[in-house]
């Protein structure tokens, strides 16, 4: 059992950003404490109550171990209190799939979301599908570690063959979409695919994946408004609040079944002219 001191309490149904590179100097995210604090101010002003700090762990950033991230989270908490910025922080990591990843999570070397040893944020590359990735997810789940898959809507192979993503979801994988994908930051093709994933119940969380206070700042309000227009405020609330809070607690949300792209989706009130 993990010490309670390593995990901030989850207070209730709040807007949670499950994926944010707010910790400074650990990866390609915030480049100093000044940027971290500015990102925190932006997030809080936008209505975000809690942020999961998720620096990369990959071959490019191989030193982001559990102890390193926990220390950085605690330092940022101290700085937020001094700056009077009201934002809860939770530890995490964006993990690149590797052959020994499961063993390193089990040993306590690498972080899961909120250090719960139950649910991990796994990075989905934009330009390829790693061989045997579905088998990897199955192995993780077989050992008691569920997967939140980061930004698969930005993978061009999945855009051409969404049935692969559907198979992963049906096997228990949860999908985290990036807010900027919905707002058009990555272009029309990714925006339209993101909308389709929402309509087909193939997105379970929306997070900022913010790396700086600049163009892709840590904001969720615009993406939430778009989501509400597509699938309604009740389901949007689950995606932006309820499901994320459950994951922080180490609970797997009871999400609605995904709909195959071959099946006709229910009629949905349209406000924005998405296809």
State the average pLDDT for the chain: 91
Span 124-140, pLDDT tens digits: 988 878 888 999 999 99
pLDDT of res. 127 = 81
Q: Any idea of the CA torsion for 154, 156, 162, 164, to the nearest 10 degrees? A: -100
Span 257-273, pLDDT tens digits: 999 987 555 544 444 44
Query: Which of 208, 209, 206 is CA-nearest to residue 235?
Result: 206
Span 230-252, pLDDT tens digits: 999 999 999 999 999 999 999 99
Span 164-174, pLDDT tens digits: 999 999 999 99
Low-confidence ranges of the chain (pLDDT < 50): 1-6, 267-275
pLDDT of res. 2 = 35
pLDDT of res. 6 = 45
Distance CA(249)–CA(75), nearest Å, equals 22
The domains located in the chain, with CATH, are: 15-248 (3.20.20.140)
């Amino acid at each position: 059992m993990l010490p309670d001191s390593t995990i901030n309490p989850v207070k209730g149904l709040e807007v949670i950003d499950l994926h944010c590179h707010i910790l400074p100097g650990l990866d390609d995210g915030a480049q100093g404490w000044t940027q971290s604090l500015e990102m925190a101010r932006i997030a809080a002003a936008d209505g975000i109550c809690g942020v999961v700090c998720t620096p990369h762990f990959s071959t490019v950033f191989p030193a982001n171990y559990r102890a390193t991230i926990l220390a950085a989270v605690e330092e940022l908490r101290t700085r937020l209190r001094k700056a009077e910025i009201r934002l809860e922080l939770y530890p995490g990591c964006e993990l690149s799939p590797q052959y020994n990843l499961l063993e390193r999570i089990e040993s306590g070397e690498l972080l899961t979301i909120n250090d719960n040893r139950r649910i991990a944020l796994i990075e989905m590359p934009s330009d390829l599908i790693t061989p045997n990735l579905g088998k990897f997810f199955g192995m993780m789940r077989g050992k008691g570690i569920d997967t939140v898959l980061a930004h698969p809507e930005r993978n061009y192979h999945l855009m051409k063959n969404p049935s692969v993503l559907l198979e992963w979801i049906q096997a228990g994988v949860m999908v985290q979409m990036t807010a900027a994908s919905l707002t058009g930051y990555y272009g029309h093709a990714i925006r339209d695919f993101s909308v389709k994933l929402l309509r087909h119940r193939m997105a379970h969380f929306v997070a900022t994946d913010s790396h700086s206070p600049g163009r892709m700042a840590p904001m969720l309000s615009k993406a939430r408004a778009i989501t509400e227009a597509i699938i309604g405020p009740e389901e949007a609330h689950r995606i932006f609040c309820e499901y994320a809070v459950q994951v922080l607690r180490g609970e797997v949300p009871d999400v609605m079944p995904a709909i195959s792209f071959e099946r006709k989706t229910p009629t949905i009130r349209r406000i924005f002219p998405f296809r």
